[in-house]
Amino acid sequence: MDSVAVIGASLAGLRAIETLRRDGFEGRIHLVGAERHRPYDRPPLSKQILAGDWETERIWLTSDEALSDLGCEPLFGVSAVALDPETLQVDLSTGDALDVDGVVIATGARTRTLGDPLGGVFTLRTVDDAQSIAAAFDQGPDRVVVIGAGFIGAEVASTARERGIAVTMIEAAQTPFERSLGTEMGAVIVDMHRDQGVDVRVGVTCEELIGEQNVTGVRLSDGSVIDATVVVVGIGVTPNIEWLVTSGLDITNGVLCDATMLAAPRIVAAGDVARWPNRLFDEVMRVEHWDNATGQAVHAAKRLLHGSSVGEYAPVPWFWTDQYDRKIQLAGRTTGFDEVIVVEGAVEDRRFAALYRKADRLVGVLGFNRPRHVMRYRGLIESRTSWSDAMAAQF
């Protein structure tokens, strides 16, 4: 293998390059990134950048010098538009093409939107998005409406409240995070936002964004209208797979890989765009978390370089979200769980750890300001610990 194209210049793409070099790859590395920026860290966007606490300089994951030291040839502001899995030719939006011996697909995902955008309606994924929303917050809007109480929406609501802005957050489900956390734990998050003054409305959707050029309000499915000049839409993301339509790869809800992150001979995938069978949970999954982007990229790069001897990628997914003064962390795979039990601390204090059971196994741990417990139990999930053993554990 003499040359590799890494398609996607965010966290996963960068970690893949670093791993290739650390493991001794000496060939050419092309880095193709659709954004005009070098790789940067996304978690601070909804928090420190939106709050105005950080200069943008602080989010860069690497410097031009470090990229050059890695011997990678970056193409920023350029998209890949097609991949031929036989010849490993990557066609670019510039009309040029790369002919390589290995490909890392790390094109990530993009935000879902609510149709034609009015002025004042935003989604949050990129640093440009975050700067636009921060600028809108700087204008001192009377109210911000957050559509979708997922983690991005909840973080935006949290940051807006900390800036003293009135917030209405609407959520289609009766309980936010119902699927992943369950109604009881989802309600803890809702209560936390209400205590901070957020007007949380559940079981309603956005019927209409009102306004001519700029948004002036939101009409909800229950008929009510909320006046707002800033609306942030956080209704999830969709993987960036359109450029692979002609490749013949399975791109249903992400690039399907085998358990080692191989999508096809000499092609691996990692990050938000990758779907793979995680043997630890016997489930084909696509994980949109920061930690997975890193771990999966390291694994995928090693798979490309060393072959199947690197084994399967079977992690315990983990993420954190910071809302107000709470650090909320979830490790495991809780969808479809049978039972949740608080094992440490108290829900009323919003400082606790709760375990999730599925059949006779520990499958998840949720922590509110309990990072130590989350990581200990994460270890137990990784070792397929039974529910009874997990309940008996003392940390």
Partner 1 sequence: MSFKVVVDYDLCESNAICMQIAPEVFEVRDDDFLYVLADEPEETQREKVEEAVQRCPKQAIAIAEA
Interface residues toward partner 1, by CB under 8 A: 15, 18, 41, 43, 61, 290-291, 294-295, 298, 318, 320, 322, 327, 329, 369, 371-372, 374-375, 378-379
Helix (H) and strand (E) counts in the chain: 10, 27
- To the nearest whole angstrom, how small is the minimum distance from the Cβ of residue 378 to partner 1? 6
Provide the minimum distance between the beta carbon of 55 and partner 1 in the complex, in angstroms, as a whole number.
15
- Distance in Å, CB of 19 to partner 1, minimum: 9
| Cα 7 to the center of its chain, rounded Å | 18
Residue 260 or 294 with smaller CB distance to partner 1: 294
Task: Output 18 or 35, the one with its CB closest to partner 1.
Answer: 18
* Torsions phi, psi for 359 (to 5 deg): 55, -125
Number of other CB atoms surrounding residue 246 within 10 Å = 12
> What is the distance of C-alpha 5 from the center of its chain?
23
The alpha-helical segments, DSSP class H, found in 246-370 are 290-306
* Residue 197 · residue 161 · CB < 8 Å: yes
Pairing of strands 97-99, 89-92: antiparallel
In the complex, the smallest distance separating the C-beta of residue 12 from partner 1, rounded to whole angstroms, is 12
State the amino acid at position 253 in one-letter form: N
Picking from 44, 86, 41, 64, the residue whose alpha carbon sits closest to that of residue 294 is 41
Shortest separation between residue 376's beta carbon and partner 1, angstroms: 8
CB of 151 or CB of 318, closer to partner 1: 318
Cβ atoms 106, 29 nearer than 8 A: no
Of 274 and 365, nearer to partner 1 (C-beta) is 365
Residue 200 vs 304, nearer CB to partner 1: 304
Residue placing its CB nearer to partner 1 in the complex, 141 or 379: 379
